Structure 1
């Protein structure tokens, strides 16, 4: 598989890239700033020919369009997209003191970015159930479990869930699978040191979903990294 992964330089994105190349896939690893590649460059040297690092800012549509044009010029198709890049702003901030710019920025990264990426990469995806679009979401985006906090993050994740459901319907006739995936509360820069989950375990579960190793109900679109349905 040729997989595009955003935010691939650290956290879950790095673990997803590692899990994918360990299983023999090729990864186009998107990273907002080439100067911050670090571990990603080392990983690319360990798996020569399997990882192509690209500068990709999901908030910059021109950056996304350049990637699509480069792939098109090289007659490359995309088998899967993992929209992993995300941002967590305004954690624990009361609504009365919340900077609205944090909400705007959260939607730019957590929703508009994935939408723009799919807008430009969907034409490069062939038909068939082996193709997939995985949008990294969160249990925070569940409306039924809304907890009245983390407004920018939670609302933007609810929005990516809705986009995932719409997209699932949109590409149904092409056979492309679409899921919003809760990766669990994992120990990353975003999740924090108190998180109980292992990002490597989560990443491998997500790649299992990509490889169709999990039995998932055909109508499900919001699942956890084990492929189990999440409450909406």
Structure 2
């Protein structure tokens, strides 16, 4: 299977890439600056030189995404999975009276419009058997458990969950599995060192969803990384 992962240079995206490579898949690791590799990414590149392709992919750059899709199409490439992982957490714990609306706009541009741009240009390549389209969401996107604070992040993730449901219906006849996945509170640059979850553990669960080793039985496709339903 060919996987394309946005925000694959670090954190969860990098762990999903590592887990996919270990399972024998080929990974197109999307990142804004593919020439700048950290130690772990460099190690993976050396170990899986035939299966890891680092590609320039800025989810805010629609022309760049369109060019990448066109290049892949000309090369006769197909995809089995698209993982929309790139995201930002802006204005953390900021009261709405102090909210910077530019931070809100940036959050929408990356967290919501990014996956929409990916869908617009990359879905035609998603033709492999048992394909999937994965949006990395968050418990912060639950309407049921809404809380004050983290406004840009929570609102964009709730909107991302709506996009998931729309795409699930759109792609149903093609047999594409579409999920919003809460990956847990993880030890990443975003989650911080106090987070209880190892991102590799989350990546393993997400790959089990992608490989359909776990098939959730839920009315909505907003699940955690083990496949259990998240509250809408």
Q: TM-score range by the shorter chain?
A: over 0.9
Instruction: Report the Cα distance in structure 1 between the residues aligned to 2:57 and 2:9, rounded to whole angstroms.
Output: 11
1:228 maps to: 228
TM-score by length of 2: 0.97
Checking the alignment, whether the CA contact within 8 Å between 2:5 and 2:28 is kept in structure 1 is yes
| Alpha-carbon RMSD | 1.1
Residues paired across the two proteins, number: 231
Report the Cα offset of residue 218 of structure 1.
Answer: 5.9
Any stretches of 5+ residues in structure 2 without a counterpart?
none
Instruction: Report the Cα distance in structure 1 between the residues aligned to 2:87 and 2:231, rounded to whole angstroms.
Output: 21
Say whether residues 1:182 and 2:185 are aligned partners. no
Alignment of 1:166-181 (within 5 A): 166-181=166-181
**Post-superposition CA distance 1:16-63 (Å, at most 9, x none):** 000000000000000111343223232111112110001110000011
Structure 1 stretch displaced more, 92-101 or 213-222: 213-222
Once superposed, which parts of structure 1, at least 4 consecutive aligned residues long, lie more than 4 Å away?
Answer: none
Instruction: Report the Cα distance in structure 2 between the residues aligned to 1:30 and 1:125, rounded to whole angstroms.
Output: 16
Checking the alignment, whether the CA contact within 8 Å between 2:78 and 2:128 is kept in structure 1 is no
2:17 maps to: 17
1:64 maps to: 65
Say whether residues 1:101 and 2:127 are aligned partners. no
Instruction: Report the Cα distance in structure 2 between the residues aligned to 1:207 and 1:51, rounded to whole angstroms.
Output: 16
TM-score by length of 1: 0.97
Any stretches of 5+ residues in structure 1 without a counterpart?
none
